[in-house]
């Protein structure tokens, strides 16, 4: 057989600049930025605290969105109940044989949580 023709010359990399540098993790960037301090009214505060104070001012001035952000971040989302009623025999059909093991465990856990206590 003859020589095989390729797009790269022998001994020359197809990627001379190498793999692109990995970007820093978003949580590291946020920690660095939000941890920076600045002076506000003669007091050193972090950027995170400045944001929280601004949100508080906006909420106190009547901003529902600012109040929602503060409350959800501070206390978590409120629990929502879902009322599920229906006949399991006539409900939507699902082929459970196609579920993987993790999906089966999750479904079983949901089923157990839905059962009335003591069953």
Cα of first residue to Cα of last residue in the chain, in angstroms, is: 75
Where are the domains positioned within the chain?
26-75
- Which pTM was predicted? 0.46
Q: What is the pLDDT of residues 70-104, one digit of tens each?
A: 999 888 887 878 776 766 566 666 778 888 899 88
Outline where DSSP puts E strands in the chain. 37-40, 43-46
pLDDT tens profile 3-47: 666 677 777 777 778 887 777 788 889 999 999 998 988 999 999
- How far is Cα 116 from Cα 25, in angstroms, rounded to an integer? 44
């Amino acid at each position: 057989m003859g020589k095989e023709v390729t797009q790269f010359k022998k001994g020359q990399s197809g990627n001379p600049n190498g793999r692109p540098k990995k970007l820093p993790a978003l949580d590291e960037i946020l920690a660095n930025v939000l941890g920076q301090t600045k002076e506000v009214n003669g007091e050193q505060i972090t950027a995170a605290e400045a944001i929280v104070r601004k949100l508080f001012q906006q909420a106190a001035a009547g901003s529902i969105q600012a109040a929602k952000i503060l409350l959800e971040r501070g206390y978590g989302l409120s629990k929502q109940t879902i009322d599920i009623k229906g006949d399991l025999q006539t409900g939507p059909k699902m082929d459970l044989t196609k579920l993987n093991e993790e999906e089966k465990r999750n479904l079983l856990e949901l089923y157990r949580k839905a059962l009335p206590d003591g069953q």
